[in-house]
Amino acid sequence: MPPTFGATLIDADLLRVPVGPGAMHVARYGHGGRPILLVHGLGTSSFLWRNVAPALAVANHAAYAVDLFGHGESDRPYDGEFGIAAQSEYLDRVLTALRVPRAVVVGCDLGALVAIRLANDHADRVERLMLVSPPDIGELPGDDVKLLQRSVRRAPLRQQRGVMGAAPILRPLLEASVADPAAMPDPLVGRYLAPFVGRDGVEQLLTLVRSIRAQDLHREEVRSIAAPTMIVAGDLDPWLPVDVAEHLAAAIGGQTRLERIPGVGRLIPEEAPDELAELILAFDEGR
């Protein structure tokens, strides 16, 4: 059973970090130890890590949970660039501003693709790389994004543009991202929907969806990843078949290993935060 939504072991320091076209929101948990950078995916935010990051801080790490540019409480300029490649560059600037030369980088869902791009373009930044529920690089946009696009087509125009905001669009994706419906109760759905309320929220969500471009990341690029890598997958993730995870592990090669967590879907930080935190700590220690 996942922890009650909103529960944390310690409070975070909330930071605004300039990245050029705007500022990114960063929640810092703890100080000292090897830094750990936590990157969420589409439709979520740094809030995804609220039950993982405190456990890392208690273990004497500084855990940085970011809101990707255009997501959560980060800025969303109307002419901003929100694609995978751009997000990687923003993360590099965040690490520079925070004076973090290297970090263990953990990305979930779309955040895993951003983490791969960071490990490719800025290998010196990535001490170790953990990919949690990574989408299929060869099928971008993935089936989860296609589900969201279908929700857009089904939602009446008045709902898309009105006070309901992105609820009719994003709710099906969030609910399908967990194996246990109890892990995505209405209050939690509402928390993730909060940045996408009203007409502007819908437009921003659609902008983020359109920003997921296949040309931002190619399957061949994963072969150049030098950092030790772990792939973590839920065995009930509807969008990550076993063979896709295995092929990604084989493509990265080197010191890559695959860990599967039973009974959970895509949003492992929601359904199995304790197990994920333990995997991160063990991975950092080389276990």
For residues 45 and 172, is the Cβ–Cβ distance under 8 A? no
147: exposed, middle or buried (C-beta count within 10 Å: 0-12, 13-18, 19+)? middle
For residues 125 and 103, is the Cβ–Cβ distance under 8 A? yes
Question: Residue 46, by phi and psi: left (phi above 0), alpha (psi -120 to 50) or beta?
Answer: alpha
First to last CA, the chain: 26
The pLDDT, as a whole number, for residue 172 is 86
- Stretches where the chain sits below pLDDT 70 are 1-9, 147, 149-165, 287
**Residue 82, token pair as written in the block:** 């929100």
Measured at the alpha carbon of residue 263, what is the angle toward residues 261 and 268, in degrees to the nearest 5?
A: 55
State the angle between helix axes of 110-121 and 84-97 in degrees (0 to 180), rounded to the nearest 10: 70
The pLDDT, as a whole number, for residue 1 is 42
The pLDDT, as a whole number, for residue 156 is 52
Question: pTM of the entire structure?
Answer: 0.93
pLDDT mean across residues, the chain: 89
Q: Where are the beta strands (DSSP E) in the chain?
A: 13-18, 23-29, 36-39, 63-66, 103-108, 126-132, 229-234, 257-261
Task: Indicate the residue type of 144.
Answer: D
List the domains of the chain with CATH numbers. 13-139+217-284 (3.40.50.1820)
Task: Indicate the residue type of 93.
Answer: R
Distance CA 282, CA 280 (A): 6
The pLDDT, as a whole number, for residue 140 is 74
Q: In the chain, what percentage of residues exceed pLDDT 70?
A: 90
The pLDDT, as a whole number, for residue 259 is 97
User: b vs e for 50-77, b when ≥16 Cβ sit within 10 Å of the residue's Cβ?
Assistant: bbbbbbbbebebbbbbbbbbbbbbbbbe
Around 16, how many Cα atoms within 13 Å sit in the side-chain half-sphere? Answer: 6
For residues 114 and 91, is the Cβ–Cβ distance under 8 A? yes
Provide the β-strand partners of residue 260: 233
Place of tokens 């309901």: 164
